[in-house]
Structure formats: C-alpha cells, structure tokens
A and B are shown apart, each in its own frame.
Chain A
C-alpha cells in the first residue's frame, strides 16, 4: 500500500506539490491524471525514493519511504520512466538485466534464473527480438517496451508507470493495457500509472486521481471521477464524450 499524507514538495522555492494525501491500496489499478506540469512525475519520484526533502509523509506498507534502503525499495517498487537517455551503448538485454540489480547479493554475474526472468519479461513486452540491439538506436516505443521489461525484471509488488503508452503505436498500446490487466489480475500487482488518454482511463482503471497545480482536485472510483464537470475543471477543455 502506498500512502501520502499532507505531502508537499517545492523545488527552488516553487511549490510543485501541495498537501497531497492519497492512498493506493494493495491490488489497485489506479490512474494519475492532470495537465502538464501538475506534479505527476514529481509524485512518482517521491514514491520511488528519488526525492527525500519533502514535507508531510509518504509511506510504503506503512513504513516511511525515506527510511527504506534503495535496495529494499527497488525490490518492492519498480518505475517505468517516460523516457530515458543512454550515454553508453548497452544492448537491450543488458538494460533489462539491470532490473535484477536489487536482487543480486554482491554477485558479479547473472544467474540462469536472472537470465530467464529477463527473457520472460522481454517476451511479455514484445521486445525479445530487440535483445541484441544497441539501446541507443531503438525508437521511442521500442525503448519504452524495454524499460517496461526492465521494471518487470525487478519482480516488484508495485509498478509505477509514467505515461507508458506515450510513444507506442496502436497495437502496442492495446498490448500494453492487456499486459497491465494481466499483471493486475494474475500476479496481484498494484499499479499506479500516469495517463493522458481519457478513453484508456475510463476503460481500464478502477481508480483515478486528478492532479492540478500540485493539488489533488478529485479522487475516487473512475466512474465517479470521470464526469464532464471534473474534466472541464481540471483540464480546461469542454468534455465531448
């Protein structure tokens, strides 16, 4: 369970998040929506232990995230970033295998198990055929699938995704949501996903949080949150169903 209470965060004096209180229960399939710059990515960074200097509290299974070791945190929470820049020409397989880092106890090389887990993850996200390719030469969508595979390789309880479909073509968008549903239903994984597309949001997510200017405007069951009035208020566009 992920929980924040009265969480505030500011960067160089600019408030990014203000008094955010939210709960993602174990087994939730939750969406985080909001205009650009509303603080969605910042929230994911706090939940994954990247930012520490916030006010209020952020907890994972009732333990303060600030008090957990990066390793322990990475065994429980995996993050699929929106994009990633690679300075070195790793192969896609090498990148995915890095997901085993928190599970490796001072071992220099990967075990057969590690290789198998990484391979299965890559097959699930349809990127096993890219295994030998240089990560720097992959397209945005291919890279996104590799990053998702890396997150799955961490074998987390909770998956945080930052616009995982932003570079995907239609088929892979559909496949992504199928996979997320499967992870949610079969592996009881908890999902918190930044999403922009209202149609996907209404179709797949059980719970939604609307974030605007660093404040949670509305939250609750998808059917209750996705109303014309809420959408017009948060996104400042007329709602046409």
Chain B
C-alpha cells in the first residue's frame, strides 16, 4: 500500500504514455491539420508550419505545463497549503515584471530568462516574509499578499509598457495575457533545459517534501534541515517559473488544478505527486492550448485565444470550489 518503485513506475509510465499520444495528436491536428505524409514529402509549407509554429508551440506547452505544475507542488508543500499556485502567490507576476524590465532594455533571450528567474526568487522571499504572522503563514494572508503583489506588478508592467516602442509593447502585452505562440524552437529548447533542471532538483527533494509539508517543527524533529530545504525548493521552482513566464507569460491555475487532481487520483505522497503532476500538467496545458488555437480558428475570427483564458476559465471556478470546501 505505501509507495513502491513498481507503483511509481506504473503510474508515471501510464501518464507518460498518455502524454505521448496527446503530443502526437496536438502536433498534427489543429488549424491547419498537418499530415505526417506531407512532412516526409518535403512539402515546404507543411514543413515550415510544422517546425516553425506547431512543434515549438506544442513543446512549449509541455515544458510550461510541467514547470507550473511541479512548482505548484513545491509551493503547496512549503506553505502547507493546497491552494498555493505560482500565479496566485504573485510569483508569476514578479517574474513577468522582471521579464518586462529585461525587454524594455532589449536584453537577449537568455538574459530575459535570468532576469525573470531572479525576479521570481525575490518575489517568493518577499511574499513569504510579508505573509508571515508571528511565525505562521495563514492561508488568507498568503493569498491576499499574492493578489496585491500581482496588481502592483501589473501596474508597473503597464507603466513600463507605455514608455517603450510599439514592438516591445506588443511583446509585453503577450506577457500579461499568457500565450504559447511565437517562440522559436531554440527558445523553447532553452525553456526545456531550465524546466528539466528545476524538475530534477525537485524530484531529488521529493521524499523530503512530504516531511516539509507537515510544518517546520515536525520536519525539524524528523531530521530535515528545513531552512536548507526551503532554499533549495525556492531556487528550483523560481528557475521554472521564471523561464516559463519569460516565454509564455502569465498562465494561471495550472499549478493549482493539476496537482489537486493528481492527489485525488493517486494520494498525497509527494514522491509520486511531483512527477505525476509534471506529466499531468504537460498534458493539461497541451490540451488547453489545443482548444485555444482551434476554438476560434475559422476565417471569421481575426485572433486566437490566449491559453491563459482557458486555464483561468477552468481554474477560477475550481478555486472557488476548493475555497468553499476548505
């Protein structure tokens, strides 16, 4: 009944299989539908769409979904709060502010990643210390601090936005909307690198995450150096949130919705919840983005829906339900 390597492999393998099927589906189905045959027939149009639009976009949704879900799991364990989410905590907002500043100075892409990462980390420490009331972290104080910080970061981003050129301004609006469009394959592979780096660190820490989720005092008494653990988890999740916000902007509720579903299905052991949520997050965001890019893809519509709209439409009501329940 407790977690064994067999159970771990079985569940993650199963989810990975689904991930693979959804990946293949999303690569070829959409607007336009691409045929795998055309890809091998050196059809230039299909080839270009596939490698410059479809593949980077689907890969990006996988990495961003992984990053947001697994950092959600880390925050939930650290804050002992199943309602924690990088977006709701204001960490994404902080990262977006960092990204906007980097864009305003026309930094190259790797430097935008770094700036977003540092901004995410600073925000995390700030929110963590602000929300603390006499050594405790009350749920409502935490969420409220996050929401207020988000509003503050948005205002600053819009302020910067009105000071920069039109091209950069367009890029910044994308940051706020949360969209998986228009990243090059190279940028996406960078994102993949940061995601896997952060994810590996979290996986390595996942046995300790269970104990950290009991609270500082019990964790200490069970032999976990809580301060060190917290620093590691903060760094690893900031790397992932920073990178995903730098490329895809603010996409909310993924880190809340996916881990919750995984816990309902497979229990609360973080050793399993973490990788399963990462894979689940990738599947979830791929599907959300599939809906986003196909829903209004007909000729009569000029725009595509940002994927953040879909995740918020699912996550918002879900959050209210969780609040009522707890």
Q: Which 9 A-B pairs have the closest CB atoms?
A: A74-B223, A102-B223, A88-B268, A71-B223, A87-B80, A79-B221, A101-B222, A70-B225, A70-B223
Q: Does B317 contact A (CB under 8 A)?
A: no
Interface residues of B in 205-219 (CB under 8 A from A): 206-208, 210-211, 213-218
Kindly provide the distance from the CB of A159 to the nearest chain B CB, expressed in whole angstroms: 12
Question: Contacts A48-B221, A98-B210, A99-B222; is A132 near B1 (CB within 8 Å)?
Answer: yes
Q: Is the CB of B210 within 8 A of A75?
A: no
Instruction: Pick the interface stretch among B2-10, B26-34, B44-52, B247-255.
Output: B2-10
* A154 beta carbon closer than 8 Å to chain B: yes
Q: How far is the CA of A74 from the CA of B210 in the complex (A)?
A: 16
Give chain A interface residues in 170-199, CB to chain B under 8 Å. none
Chain A 83-123, CB-CB to B under 8 Å as 1, else 0, gives 01111111101100111011010011110000100000000
Count, A-B residue pairs, CB within 8 A: 94
Given contacts A98-B210, A98-B214, contact A88 B263 (CB under 8 A): yes
Whether B221 and A74, one on each chain, are in contact in the complex, defined by CB atoms closer than 8 angstroms, is: yes
B 209-252 to A, binary, CB cutoff 8 A, 1 in contact else 0? 01101111110111111100000000000000000000000000
By beta carbon, the residue of chain B nearest A147 is B218
B 170-212 binary contact with A (CB < 8 Å = 1; else 0): 0000000000000000000000000000000000001110110
- Decide if B81 touches A101 in the complex (CB within 8 Å): no
The CA of A208 and the CA of B257, in the complex, are separated in Å by: 52
In the complex, whether B267 has a CB less than 8 A from a CB of chain A is yes
Contact of B269 among A78, A86, A90, A99 (CB under 8 A): A90
B1 touches A90 (CB 8 A): no
- Judging by beta carbons under 8 Å apart, are A84 and B222 in contact? no
**Is the beta-carbon distance between B2 and A73 smaller than 8 angstroms?**
no
Task: Let me know if B210 and A87 touch, CB within 8 A.
Answer: no
Pairs across A and B, CB under 8 Å, 6 listed: A50-B220, A69-B223, A70-B223, A78-B221, A101-B223, A115-B2
Separation of A86 and B263 alpha carbons in the complex (Å): 14
Shortest B89–chain A CB gap in Å is 15
Instruction: Enumerate chain A residues within 8 angstroms of B218, measured Cβ to Cβ.
Output: 81, 84
Q: Tell me, yes or no, whether A27 is within 8 Å of chain B by CB.
A: no
Which B residues are in CB contact (< 8 Å) with A90?
Answer: 210, 267-269
Q: Cβ of B4: which chain A residues have Cβ within 8 Å of it?
A: 109
- Chain B hits for A109, CB < 8 A: 3-5, 8, 271
Is the C-beta of B82 less than 8 angstroms from some C-beta in chain A?
A: yes
Q: Name the residue among B221, B226, B267, B269 with the largest chain A CB count within 10 angstroms.
A: B221
Residues of B within 8 A of A107 (CB): 207
Question: How many residues of B are in contact with the other chain, CB < 8 A?
Answer: 33
Query: What CA separation (Å) do A194 and B218 show in the bound complex?
Result: 17
Shortest C-beta distance, A117 to chain B (Å), equals: 13
Contact of B82 among A71, A75, A88 (CB under 8 A): A88
- Measured CA separation A130–B211 after assembly (Å): 20
A215 sits at the interface (CB 8 A) = no
What B residues does A167 contact at CB under 8 A? Answer: none
A89–B222 CB distance below 8 A: no
New A-B contacts (9) at CB < 8 Å, excluding given A89-B268, A98-B211, A132-B1:
A48-B220, A49-B220, A49-B221, A70-B223, A70-B225, A74-B222, A84-B215, A93-B1, A101-B208
- In the assembled complex, A45 has its CB within 8 A of some CB on chain B: yes
Q: Least Cβ distance of B256 to chain A in Å?
A: 14
Residues from chain A with a CB closer than 8 A to the CB of B81 are 87
Q: Is the CB of A154 within 8 A of B222?
A: yes
CB pair B1–A91 under 8 Å, yes or no, is yes
A131 CB, nearest partner CB in chain B, Å: 7
Contacts of A72 in B (CB 8 A): 223
Residue of A nearest to B225 (CB): A70
Residues of B within 8 A of A94 (CB): 2-3, 210, 267-269
Closest to A75 in B: B223
On chain B, the residues within 8 Å of A85 by CB distance are 215
Which of B206, B217, B220, B222 touches A98 (beta carbons < 8 Å)?
Answer: B222
| Cβ–Cβ < 8 Å partners of B210 in chain A | 90, 94, 98
Interface string of B84-125 (1 = CB under 8 A from A): 000000000000000000000000000000000000000000
Q: Which of A30-80 contact B (CB under 8 A)?
A: 45, 48-50, 69-75, 77-79
Q: Which residues of B contact A45 (CB under 8 A)?
A: 217
Closest CB in chain B relative to A9 CB, distance in Å? 14
A45 to B: closest C-beta gap in Å: 7
Q: Which of B207, B224, B269 contacts A70 (CB 8 A)?
A: B224
Nearest B residue (CB) for A48: B221
Instruction: Determine whether the beta carbon of A73 is less than 8 Å from that of B1.
Output: no
B9 to chain A, nearest CB (A): 11
CA distance A109 to B271 in the complex (A): 9
